[in-house]
Amino acid sequence: MSTHQPPRASADPSTGPSDAHGGDVPDARQRRTILVTVCTALMAVIASVSGLNVAQPDLAVAFGASQSTVLWIINVYTLALAALLLPLGAIGDRFGRKPVLLTGLTVFGVAGAAAGLAPSAEVMLAARLLGGVGAAMIMPITLAVITSTFPEEERGRAIGVWTGVAGGGGVLGMFLSAALVDVANWRWLFALPVVLVTVALTLTLRSVPDSREASGHAFDTVGALTSVVAVVGLVFALQEGPERGWTAPATLLGLLVGAVATVGFVARELHLRDAALLDVRLFGERALAGGSITLLTVFGVQAGVFVVLFPFLQAVLGWSGLLSTLALMPMAVLMMAASGLAPRLAERIGPRATTAAGILLAGAGLALMAAVVSVDGGYPSVLPGMLAMGIGMGLSMTPSTEAITGTLPRERQGVASALNDVTREFGTALGVALLGALLSSGYRSAVASRLDGVPQDTADTAREGVANALGVAHQAGPHAQALSRAARESFVDGWQQAMWAGVAVMAVLFLHLLARGPRRPAHVPAGAPGPADATGP
């Protein structure tokens, strides 16, 4: 790995003493305000990722839109967010993190207001796309502000708060969104993010210092564009595969374009070396590789579990969207609490042991849900597993995030933070696609043997999913009650198949962490290369 000394970062004046890297260290009060500011901005972004999921029927009715259009209204935000994280994080490093954050908050707020007032599906799509662009400016900068502002002894705990909001904020956003849909109108879903972003904008202007990288190299425009194409292709394929089919031309084309662009991006970055957008050679270090693999897996499993939990709560138990979201809150609360606890635990037993313990606990939670879940057992049969998962994932997320951001020097924290976020987004897309597919295939296999005597049309509809089966059960005549029971039991069979697959993935990750997990917190001073493998717990 190159050991050149990059130019120092510059910072705007702020209160507090000057640090060793040429920047000024905000005092303790300002650091608390900075943390509140970036977490408020992050909450707005995370809430907008998941919030619209609870309003799919309302969107379809309001715009006369097909299910495919509704899914694109939801997914185009995530697609734009994931695709632009890396280049916009690098732009923040180069041109100033505070200006990029302010621009992102403004764009995001305008997009949210436009979406709330959208008169048509086309305007809504455009607004959601613009919102994704704003979110891609906000998300990496919020973490980069923490890692480039907080002193080393406080950085881990600040990152713990950030990861707690990132991990549990989606559930909190969904709960608030479901409440708004129930008591008001789906258009009010955009009021919460707009309010949050307005608060964050005001606080950013007052308290967040600016920092930037004084680079001696031209911006890697080709690498940035190639990374955008790669992410768009791969995420598009993951989003469309479950809907269109994995062998559909559009899915295969997305995979091909994404794979070719990924190879091109890696080749270019290896060629540029010190002038690269992202030094891909850093993935040879255990801290970056281990942190990335852990976050990819954790967020993949988390997203996949939500795909399984929501239909269980709504279709199998018959709960409303609001009550179903409320049922996830214990897991989210424990995840956020464990994320804050993880840095203190890592100081005592080391980041590798902390992360591995979290993965072991999360895997045990998955196994518990797979083994105990039943139609008759209801919510109590899955709650203990959910709680174990929440604690385990919270413990593993903070050390993994710190391992990624610690591998890159302080002046490249926008890129480091963007890499952390891209990994999370890819993990989420993978988890939804793969665990969702396992759930669907397991359900179809199980329900097929339980449809004897059911009219053919009704049976064909029942094979599509548990909600479809329950919706047409009244057409099954004397078999109506049996069909409802069969659909619920078949869903549980599919649930178990998906959960055991998650357990297997977590077991492999656990063994990998024991062998190749980061050995110590990776804090890199400005201008220094990322840490190599080191001894320690």
Over residues 324-348, mean pLDDT:
90
CB neighbour burial string for 122-155, b if at least 16 within 10 angstroms, e if fewer? eebbbbbbbbbbbbbbbbbbbbbbbbbbbeeeeb
**For the chain, percent of residues with pLDDT exceeding 90:** 28
CATH of 23-209, one of 1.20.1250.20, 1.20.1560.10, 3.90.1640.10, 2.70.160.11: 1.20.1250.20
The per-residue pLDDT for range 160-186, each reduced to its tens digit, is 999 888 877 777 777 887 788 777 788
Over the stretch 352-389, which tens digit does the pLDDT of each residue have? 899 999 999 999 999 999 888 888 888 999 999 999 99
Q: Secondary structure of 162-185 in the HEC alphabet?
A: HHHHHHHHHHHHHHHHHHHHHHCC
Among 141, 139, 133, smallest CA distance to 93 is for 141
**C-alpha–C-alpha distance, residues 445 and 37, integer Å:** 49
Q: 427 pLDDT band (50/70/90 cuts)?
A: confident
Strand partners, 24: 18
| pLDDT higher than threshold 90 for residue 325 | no
Residue 287 pLDDT > 50, yes or no? yes
If pLDDT is split at 50, 70 and 90, which confidence band does 36 have? Answer: very high
* pLDDT tens, residue by residue, 22-33: 445 677 888 899
Whether the predicted pLDDT of 530 surpasses 60: no
Residue 287 near residue 403, CB atoms below 8 Å: yes
- The three-class DSSP label of residue 211 is strand
Q: pLDDT, tens digit, for every residue of 135-152?
A: 999 999 998 899 888 888
Residue 363's pLDDT is: 94
Confidence tier at 520 by pLDDT (50, 70, 90) = low
Would you say residue 525 has pLDDT above 90?
Answer: no
Q: How much is the pLDDT for 519?
A: 61
- pLDDT band for 215, please (50, 70, 90 cuts): low
Average the pLDDT over 60-71 and give the result.
Answer: 81
Distance (Å, whole) CA 210 – CA 149: 9
Asked if 449 and 259 touch (Cβ cutoff 8 Å), the reply is: no
> What pLDDT is stored for residue 257 in this prediction?
95
CA angle 133, 104, 139 (to 5 degrees): 75
Confidence grade of residue 526 (pLDDT, cut at 50, 70, 90): very low
**Residue 7 pLDDT grade (very low, low, confident, very high; cuts 50, 70, 90):** very low
Closest to 404 in 3D by CA, of 309, 524, 277: 524
Spans of all domains in the chain: 23-209, 221-276
pLDDT at 117: 93
Helices 413-448, 121-149: inter-axial angle, 10-degree rounding: 130
For range 47-65, the mean pLDDT: 78
CA distances from 526 to 10, 22, 85, 523 (A): 11, 9, 22, 10
Mean pLDDT of 326-344: 90
